[in-house]
Structure 1
């Protein structure tokens, strides 16, 4: 259809619709023609039979069956692939749905099975309780029947006379027998009414008990507990436990069998220390803790179960509960150690313990090396012994000797003292070319204090400068009289280098041991002394122990000082693992819970509880001592100490060593460094590798970390680099002490020395604006310098001391003025100068001091 002008009208779509005109009317007579298109109604034609006949229009199957309806650009293979993917997805969804249904069904079956098991268990429990109840009721009924029968028998015996007096006549008996025979003929007993009444009464009582027990069971077996039930006392009260039910049934049974019998209260002896926790007191009395708390509250003490009370209060509580209090002391825990007493017939001979002592570098370790054919000196840093070594040596005659090699340096005095405490014989090594030295005298004093015999070994006899007679003479000055001079001290001339005299030394030791008659009991718990202790990275705390009495075995539980443990392994002086160590045998013990102090005593106990209790008591005792020492200081003393600490410069250090003895020796050496102005303060010392905690403590205190034969681990090194903490390593104690002494010397205030350089006489005083009074001077002696210090002298009395503000020659500022020349001087912040005054000119020099 076309317009009048020949143009095509606007249309929507193709041939699917029909076009037409619509005339629109508006106001004022305006009209407008609009071309519209009408959509045709779609007619659906039934599909032809064949492939895709039943497919939904637009579905993939329909598209596949009708290539004309397939989207453009999709091939038959692509369409086939899509259809297969769709089918696989539908199959997968169906299988997943089936799996979920099967899993849900299995879970439901498992829930049903568990529910059935729980119900079966509950049913069995109810049946068991019901059977118990029925049995108890039956027992009670039988007891009642027996009691009734016994009562009837008593009544029958009590009235025999009345029965005989009222004996029935032959006629009455005949009538009674006839009545009985008639009753039997009818099947009725003469006692039927009374029996019927008893049965009814028993039945009613059984029904009541059954209903009551059913209520109790319901209340006990219910799983929910409300607040009302928990706080109430009646039917809704708190559910009873199985123990409460048993107690109730027992009471009922005892009541049925002849009344309640109250058990007799058991009186106990309660061990009462100086203070005790409330719960522990209740346990020792076998009473309930709430009852003990109530008793204390009645006494006016509001306490809790974990609160400690004193012994007097606890004794009152114990007596109130009817028990007996036995006062004990906390120190009684150590009595288990002293309980073993050796009998004379149990004592057996033991090897002697010999300690090698002497001055440094006099050949102690070399002598011991020659005896045991070993080389220990090469293993010691700097060729000096810095640990106590313990060795066993077998002499030519078969005798076993135990040697302790102690350091000779002055810093190891405490270590030598510990060596003398455990020894039987002291071998004092004195060099023939050096005679008696300071540490030799200390060793003599330790031996005398320990009251042990001494043998003098005069070493280095092979040297040309050797003079053994001088050694013997020098010993006289220290009250050591040798046999050659009429005394009882043996002397043997030896040479550790050539081996000369070593056999004679061993013979002298054996002779001395034979005189001492050393004995010990090997069949008792071990007793020993810690010679040395260290913290090994792989093995943990390790203690070198010299067994003095008894036998130390693997698995033994022991306490040593404030530590305890169980012997995990024993290692002898050759590095071999052994199962036990007898008297006078040195061993390394593994299995401690901490590093003990060198010199602590090791005791074997029976149980771990005893060992732990003793260790805790010792720890608490040491804490109390420290607290008491701190509390003993008054406020005035604290103020004086704080003032003194402010005036004394301190060099803080942190010490870590490989063994306990070395750490103590280093601390003792460092404490001797210093004077009234400076001192060394050891913040902490310990055994083992340097750790991060050590670095943190050093950083907080601004202290260096000193490692003696130990190293810092990886995290500690990284932390030290990050925080700027200095870590220094040493293996020789001399170097460590020298470096610390030099560092402490740096804290000393420098000494100021004055050097006179000249005099100047004031000839005239001038007033200069902006400067003040200026002295016109003549340098009469030496030189005047601008940078020097000056003093103003008036009649040879110092009026002022200070510095120069200006030094001029004519109008120029100069640095110095020579003798015989005139100059102008002005003082800094001082104007009171007069004609005739003398100016003294000097220079100061700071000189560094040393400790």
Structure 2
């Protein structure tokens, strides 16, 4: 469109043939938005422009922008512009374009302000949520932070001060950078919005590039500084797609101050959690009687080096493999802030002490009978007759060489368990260990031989064990048998038969002729019914080792008598200082069995070592427990062997026990060379007894001291005395091992005098009161810091310092105590004789008056003699 045509008022025409086209009104692009905590989001931006046309007053068509404003090109054809020159029209158009652009810029700034306000609100909401979470975490950690509270508060205050100073410094730097940027920023013309491109609605003859109007520089309204609001400094100006893409491809955006604070707070909480996890935890440390340094450190969860340093501070130089005593371990444990729990090494055996059985679980069991008697009186032959077997023929020389345990089933179906022993050592050891193995003792006496020394020993041991006795008078089929003589001899040993008014059952039997066996079995079963023997089979097996030996090809084999419970193949057990697992069970006839109940003797294979006769046997839960108990018992036995008693015999220990009031009875075992000496010594010792003390003769016989005598003395804490006899080497070794004192005498009066001294020491000393004198109180003085002092005159005898005194008022004793001070003039004196004056004061008593009489006396203890 040419200006000449416009001036001439001609119609608007196209210079060249063509068609009228509309340009795109929608502009699209992508913008990357960045949020807090490193989040980002890419969004699509669409800019849509609507173009409308309206007819002006002059009938010309013009383009109208959104909001009712005419476009720049349409403004050319405004009636107000008619008749203007090109220069004026261009100026007017530039002004209109500047006004439109300023209005668009203000609109953008309002949108930016709204967006910033919304982001600030979201940020505040996130901070509040974070504060709530932090408060909850702080509350959860409050318990473990009690000890470190003061330190943490100081650190927190320092960190907050540092953060505040850092924020102030960052604010200053931001303000300085903003001021410097505003001064050095070049003045640039803002590009017009792409949607506001001037289009010639009439086509226009000139289609060359049009000159863009110059944009006016306008300043936006001053906004409050983000640094002053505690927010990070934001980019100046509008964000375009190009700037967003350049920022994404170029340098990364700087973190905001709030993000930096959150990161530092997170790191501080993590460090705090680490400190809390490393905080000392008070533990209960179990300490046995001896513990190594390494084990102590392990139980405290401390380093071995720290424990060794603690010991060095105490002056104890120890390595990690050395053992320390419980007292030293307690000091170390307390230094590290833990609590000690002391346990004895013997506590490992507590697991063997089972709970008491309920009466409802108890069932009747077979009686356990021990056959005892003199050598060659027919013990084994009698047992053979009961078992209908021929065991005696298999023994070397017809003498029992080992302990046997057998179970016999009667014709009535009842069962009896017999123990056949060559002596009584194992039986006594079982009694010493508290194992109630034997229920009844069958004392075998040959009718033609009578009661012999070993028979008397068997009687003594049966009485010591308090086990009922049944006397079997054997060999009654011989012509020279005299059962009545045997009963008379029993009376001499304090065993009164039933036909003589006593309680001892005497049964006449013959093992060779197999007579009287039914009567013997009947009396055994009757005695067991009286005893009401019961046991609980539904529990872990417990028993005692009757015999143990090493067999080639089978290892250690032990004959065990089960007392209660049931043992099965595969059970883990401990017996004395040995442990193992049951590999096989054999009954008394050599047959393999799977289980064995109460009162059943079995041979057990599977021992790690050979136990001792009389050891306790018990089934445990696991191998670790069994090994621990066995090792403890082995250590205990080894320590007992290493004990060396120097300068103190058992008799001296007996004296010390008497002084402590522990013993009122002296048990002795006496062996002499002749019967007459034994009777004289026994009678003399019995005459020494009175109502307070007495001598208990456990056993007296003719001959040398044997192992059985030492065993009997050890089981009761007694003393072995030999008159013109000596102990054999085995007995001496056993006495040395068990700590039994053996005394030898050649003069009977020396033995009686020693026993009298021991018994005299058992008696309480005699207390005798010796009168010293009288003193009369003539005046009472009240001395500061000393209390009341009596001015006295000794009227009779004398008064000693430290003597016992009685205060008499009108011949009535009102106080008895000790004299505290005794003075003449200003000097302390030891005693004051009759006719002299003195000052006296009582111990813890001051109620004295003039005219009172003081009686002085002293107490004398005199040892009593028999």
For normalisation by structure 1, the TM-score amounts to 0.47
TM-score (norm 2): 0.46
Q: Which has the larger radius of gyration?
A: 2
